[in-house]
Amino acid sequence: MKTITAAKAKNNFGQFLDMAQREPVIVTKNDRPVGIFMSFQDFEDRIWAERADEAHRQGYIGVEESEALLQQMLKASD
């Protein structure tokens, strides 16, 4: 993961945005990490992964398991 100072991020914002498209970038101020910048796609992926993990913990089943269960139920009703 790359690191950039807040001042450099401000002064080279276009380059900073390009860096964040490739990987998350840690932003520092006075040699301390103060934030992290990532692409919107990375953010969405993390949110969906967290939601999937939570659904799994709550007992929800996945797409393939759902389809198999529906097929099984349809066969049983014949």
Report long-range pairs for 45-49 (Cβ below 8 Å, ≥24 apart).
Answer: none
User: Considering the chain, what percentage of its residues have pLDDT values greater than 70?
Assistant: 100
Any idea what DSSP says for residue 23?
A: S
pLDDT at 30: 97
CATH number of 2-38: 3.40.1620
User: Considering the chain, what percentage of its residues have pLDDT values greater than 90?
Assistant: 60
Domains of the chain by residue range: 2-38, 41-76
Q: What pLDDT, in 10s, does the model give residues 37-68? A: 999 999 999 998 998 888 888 888 888 888 88
pLDDT at 67: 87
Instruction: Supply the pTM of this predicted model.
Output: 0.64
Question: Residue 19 contacts by C-beta under 8 Å, 6 or more apart in sequence?
Answer: 2, 4, 25
Average pLDDT value for the chain: 91
pLDDT at 64: 87
CB atoms within 10 A of CB 28: 16
Give SS3 for 35. strand
